[in-house]
Amino acid sequence: TGANTLRRYEAGAQTRTARYNRLDGSYYDIFNTAVGIDSAGRVSLHHKGRLVIGVENTPTWVFDVLKFLVIDLGGTLGQIGMGQHGTAFGHAGATVGPAICYEGLYGDFCGDFVRRGAQFLAIISNDGWWGDTPGYKHLFSISRLRAIEHRRAIARSANTGRSGFISARGDVGQTLGWEQRGVITADVPLSSQETFYTRYGDYIARIAEYVLLLCMLYFVAYRVKRRNYLVK
């Protein structure tokens, strides 16, 4: 399930996202958190590590000045605490990666769950603020990419949006549509294999960006040199 959680810090030990508590001089972070509670009552937490720009990831002073531009996506507005990586939850021999909403857009970040042992992914999301627009459909489609990249089945639960099951091949199974109430169940296959992308992440894309930059610089230098030659 999802929750807003709070962590307090003594003065001097606070993070860069911590807020000041005027009552006792301490600091605190508010997190968007995935909470796992197993049958033995043990609690696991994953704090959201990829924040929505302009709503969750906004410095306080900027938020105060530009808050008239900010839309309410549900939850806590303004700068919130940021998790460091994907934390996998384990229970009864199975391990799940509990990605939260916007985190599903980042393939390498979802890979953190898998590299930490996740055998399938469970994405929880609040899609209600989209309304009946292509937005929630787009988020569901992106989840299919995560399944293919890491060869992990996905169970996706979205408030108001589209919930459903996605196979490790990206095939869509049972779904629950926009603004529909109900319960769907399915067997979710587990996998412990790592794909090339899981192991190495976005390195290929980053190398391609560097090569593109070098090509552009070479082209600019070539044009400048050629122009100077023609002027002479």
Tens-level pLDDT at each residue, the chain (232 residues): 899 999 999 888 888 888 888 888 889 999 999 999 988 888 999 999 988 877 777 655 555 565 555 555 555 555 788 888 888 999 888 999 999 998 999 999 999 999 999 999 999 998 887 888 888 899 999 999 999 999 999 999 998 899 999 999 999 999 998 889 999 999 999 999 999 999 988 888 889 999 999 999 999 888 887 776 655 5
CB 71 within 8 A of CB 52: no
pLDDT value, residue 145: 95
Number of H helices, E strands in the chain: 5, 10
pLDDT value, residue 59: 56
What is the second-level CATH architecture of the domain 2-200? 4-Layer Sandwich (3.60)
Task: Give the pairing of strands 163-166 and 27-37.
Answer: unpaired
pLDDT value, residue 149: 94
How many CB atoms are located within 10 Å of the residue 87 CB? 19
Distance of alpha carbon 44 from alpha carbon 28, whole angstroms: 20
Nearest to 5 by CA among 33, 28, 26: 33
Q: What global pTM score does this model have?
A: 0.79
The single-letter code of the amino acid at 193 is Q
Q: Name residue, tokens 């507005």.
A: 77
